[in-house]
Structures are given as C-alpha cells and as structure tokens.
Amino acid sequence: MSDIFAFRGSEDAGYAQPAPIADAEAAKERIPVSLRRAERAAWPTASEPELVRHYTWLSQRNFGIDTGFYPLGSCTMKHNPRVNERIVQLAGMNDVHPLAPAHHLQGLMAIFHEMQEMLGHCAGMDAVTLQPVAGAQGEFTAIRCIQEYHRSIGQSHRDKVIVPDSAHGTNPASAAMCGYSIIEIPSGEDGRLDLDALRAVVGDDTAAMMITNPSTLGVFEPDIAEAAQIVHDAGGQMYYDGANFNAIIGRTNPGLMGFDAVHYNLHKTFSQPHGGGGPGSGPIGVKTHLAEFLPSPIVGRRPSEEGEIGAGDGWWYTWEAPENSIGKVHQWHGNAGAVVRSWAFYRRYGRDLRTMSEHAVLNANYLRHRIMNPSPEIREKIHAMPADGCPADVVKHEFTLSMTPLVDAIGANGKDVAKRLLDYGYMAPTLYFPMIVPECLMIEPTETESKEALDKFADDFHAVLSEDAEILTTAPHTTDVKRVDEVWAARNLILRHPKKDDA
C-alpha cells in the first residue's frame, strides 16, 4: 500500500484518507495548462471526520421515512426498499453515459422499455415517455401534447382548462404555464365532482379537464366516466393526475375511466425516494392520438438480428423520436436512476401490484376508523370529511379531517396539532390541503406501515387531542428547531453557506 499511497493530511484540513498520488498526478497532467488553476481553490476546509459529523448531524435534524411514520397525505411517502439502491448501483445502470451508443445501453434500455409497457398497461394508455422528472412536469408535458393535438386538428381556439376546487395547485399552474385560462368548479357537498357544475362550464373553448381520482379527499369519483363523456362531447381532453394512483393500481385504470393522458409519480406509487430524499420522476402516458407529440426519445424495439447480443432477451432496443414531438422537457432520458429504482420495486410485485393498492386502501380505512372512534370527549374535537356517517363512508388511500371542532373547543388549530405530532416522533400530516376542507389534516399511511404503527399513531393522535391549548399552541417542544416563521426563508433568500469572515 505504501508504495501506491502516501499520507496526504493537508496542512489546514486535518486528516483525510490518502489519495492515490500516482493517479492524481497523472490526471493533473492530462488537464491543459491553460485550464489549470494558478492558485489553490478556496474550498471550505474540514477534516474527514468533521465532514462526516457535519452531515450526520444534519441528517439527525431531519425527519425522514427511515426515521418514523410519515403520514403526508397526497405525497405517498412509502418505504424505499434498499434492494432498489443495490440494483441502481450496478455498473450497467450507474456507470453509463447518456450519450453512450445504444449497443452499450441495451440492458438499461430494456428496463426503460419494460417500464413504458408496464406503466402504459397499468393506466390503460397506449404510449409512455419516461422523461419528465416530477408530477408537475408531467402535467405540463401532457397539457402541451394536448395543446399540439388541438392545433393539429384546427382547434387551437380552445383556451380553457377545467379543474375541480379539490385539485392540487400544480394542475392549474401547469395549464397556466401552457397559456390556458383556468376554470375552477366547486365540489359537491359529499366532496365529489359536481356534474352540473361541469356541464355549466364545458364548451367549444374547453381544451381539457384535469382531475385526480380518487380525489385529494381520498374519495373515488363514481361519475368519472360520465364526466369524461361530457368533456369529450364538448371536444375537450381528459387529463388524469396520477398522484393518487396508489389507491387504484391493479383494480381499475384511467384509460377505462375515459382519460386521454396521465402522469405517474414514480417517487410516490413506485417507491423512489422523494422530498429531500432524491430526484423525482413523473412519466406520462397517453392514448394513441397524443403519442406523436410526446417528448423524445422513447425506447422502441425490434427482434434482434444475428450477431446482436443486446439485452439477451431476443430484442434490440432503439431510441425513437415521436413524429411531431413537443421537444425535450428534461436532459437526456429523464432521471434514469429513479426509473431503475421503480422498476426494481415493481418487479418484486410483478402482476400482484393490486395487493399493494388494496393494502394502502385497507390501511387508510383502518387508521381512519381508529382515529374516528376515540372516547366521546376527544371525538367531539374532530370532524371527518366528507361528512361523518355519510353512506359512502369509505375512503381510498388517504383521508381528511377537519380540526374546526378543536378550534371551537379549545382554540388550538390544525397547525398546532401538526406541530405537536412532531414531539411524538411523527412527520406532520399534510396541512390545510385540500383547501376546501377547513382546518384540514390529510393523512395517508400507505401500504408499508404495520397495524402496530397505525394503532400507535391513532393512540398518539388522541393523546395530542386530549392536551391543553397551551401545550398545543407552543409545540413543538422536543425538536431541535422550534416553531419557525414559515415564510421568512422564502422572503429572505440565503443561497450560500456563510463564509468564516461573514460575522
């Protein structure tokens, strides 16, 4: 070892593992003199242990799905299986360059192709692109495809996109980015789509309707096929926001409901880490009439010919460009690593993905039932949405609660409950969304939580509701960071680490 490595603890940085000097020197020689630094870069200095301690300290101040229960409604924070990480780190996935020739990428392209097929099949769509890297970007991409489709058939005057008032903010934002005006329609009292409200706004100017099903209330829309019919009869297109796909995958699909385009959140339904945990992936699927507008490239295949080794499955994979593509929405082929992780996840379920959604729905209903059946004094402080005891009192993968009764009872609100749950070791549920539920908490347990975890959360939730206003309104009490000014950071951007002399 000592022949190859020499100790290189730098004067001002403390201990660092020795670097292979021979290689480093050789590498330096390969950099043209004109590009070499005249002076040493002013990197922040720290020893390796200091650096490790810094990042470990940061990670301990964070809450993540690996730290505890993360019931963030609509965000589908499920366990990220470690086998996905092992697979994505294999050399054939990790050590390839996006510009490598197709004959070097056949294995990866086979995975991409299988994902396109699987996602298309699960959603009842005919063509899929893996390129968008977030659900919101998928929405934008699909709405752009719809826009080009309308142009291609002489319908470019269609300039309105309809969204229900329970929609996620990215829906109207994506449509607005494409230049559309937004028409919001109110939900009915049961939280469901109001067909009369829809009929009142569709017309010759309707480009599309964007909707998620089940809705952000966790409620399945039984009239969805009729809604699709109304929009189609008016010449509009139906867009499915796939953020809630975890509720229905394997049991029904957006294609059957009458949708023309969907996005998938691989970082929700297919276990790719998200939030602070990693880049997302928001592929879209479309029906045949929209396929020619998809971003390029898409993976195609043909039977392999003699001498072509390929992925060893009898196919030769090719990059294909849809004929009238809207162009690229991200560099290269999207977030390849996210696609591979999600592929690894789906492969372990195979055809049994349906059990995943069934367990997600079972868990949500079990937790809702547990939360809604405490002692009478606590029961008075919560209101389940849609209305308690309504005949269809079954939700899909998530549910919403209104904390209005708590406000009336003791003056503490939904935010106070969310903050206090941090003290009990939980991530707060989604707060104040959807906006149609006053004092809303939205809870989504996902299929990956055990009955014990759900029982404990329900008990702790009840414990929080039995506490007095003073404890709740000043929570959290045990976290590193206490109650913060939630808008300060957005209004006072600090985009770099302070320098030592920035006193």
Ligand X SMILES: Cc1ncc(COP(=O)(O)O)c(C=O)c1O
Enumerate binding residues for ligand X (CB under 6 A).
74-75, 134-136, 168, 170, 212, 216, 241, 243, 265, 280, 282
Nearest distance in Å: CB 57, ligand X: 28
Which of helix, strand or coil describes residue 386? coil
Nearer Cβ to ligand X (65/243): 243
Provide, rounded to whole angstroms, the least separation between the CB of residue 170 and ligand X: 4
For the bound state, the minimum distance from the C-beta of residue 141 to ligand X, rounded and expressed in Å, comes to 12
Tell me the two tokens of residue 498: 């302070």
Q: State the burial class of residue 199 (Cβ atoms within 10 Å of its Cβ: 0-12, 13-18, 19+).
A: middle
- The residue (of 241 and 449) whose beta carbon lies closer to ligand X is 241
Q: Name the burial class of residue 46, with classes exposed (0-12), middle (13-18) and buried (19+) by CB atoms within 10 angstroms of its CB.
A: middle
Other Cβ atoms less than 10 A from the Cβ of 98: the count is 11
Residue 486 beta carbon to ligand X: minimum distance, rounded to whole angstroms: 18
Residue the block writes with tokens 């506490």: 467
User: Closest separation between CB of residue 32 and ligand X, Å?
Assistant: 42
Helices (H), 124-223: 135-152, 170-177, 195-201
135 vs 285, beta carbon nearer ligand X: 135
Closest distance to ligand X from the beta carbon of 89 (Å):
24
Amino acid making up residue 411? G
Amino acid at 353: L
Q: Which CB sits closer to ligand X, 147 or 216?
A: 216
Which residue, 106 or 363, has its beta carbon nearer to ligand X?
363
User: Which is nearer to ligand X, 135 or 310 (by Cβ)?
Assistant: 135
Q: Which of 355, 342, 446 is nearest to 118 (CA)?
A: 342
Taking the complex as a whole, how short is the minimal distance between the CB of residue 96 and ligand X, in angstroms?
25
Give dist(CA 213, CA 227) in Å, integer: 12
Query: In this structure, what are the phi and psi dihedrals at residue 131, rounded to the nearest 5 degrees?
Result: -70, -45
Between residues 213 and 413, which has the closer beta carbon with respect to ligand X?
213
Nearer of residues 106 and 335 to ligand X, judged by Cβ: 335
Residue 189 tokens read as 């009292």
- Which of 322, 269, 262 minimizes the C-alpha distance to 291? 322
Residue (87 or 243) nearer to ligand X, CB: 243
Contacting residues for 455 by C-beta, under 8 A, at least 6 apart: 370
Tokens of 462: 């009840």
Among the listed residues 272, 167, 271, 263, the one whose alpha carbon sits nearest the alpha carbon of residue 214: 167
- Closest approach, Cβ 335 to ligand X, in A, equals 11
Q: What's the closest the beta carbon of residue 279 comes to ligand X, in angstroms?
A: 10
- Nearest of 411, 399, 408 to residue 371 by alpha carbon: 399
Cβ nearer to ligand X, comparing 87 with 167: 167
What is the number of the residue whose Cβ is closest to ligand X?
A: 135
What three-state secondary structure class fits 47? coil
Is the backbone peptide bond immediately before 476 cis, with ω within 30 degrees of 0?
yes
Distance CA 181, CA 202 (A): 13
Q: Is the dihedral of CA 303, 307, 311, 316 positive or negative?
A: negative
Judged by beta carbon, residue 241 or residue 447, the one nearer ligand X is 241
* Residues in Cβ contact with 339 at an 8 Å cutoff, skipping those fewer than 6 apart: 111, 112, 115, 130, 266, 281, 283
Block residue for tokens 């072509």: 308
Cα atoms in the 13 Å half-sphere on the side-chain side of 158: 28
Report the Cα 98 to chain-centroid distance in Å.
24
Which residue's CB is nearer to ligand X, number 124 or number 280? 280
* Minimum distance, C-beta of residue 241 to ligand X, in the bound complex (Å): 5
Maximum pairwise Cα distance, the chain: 81
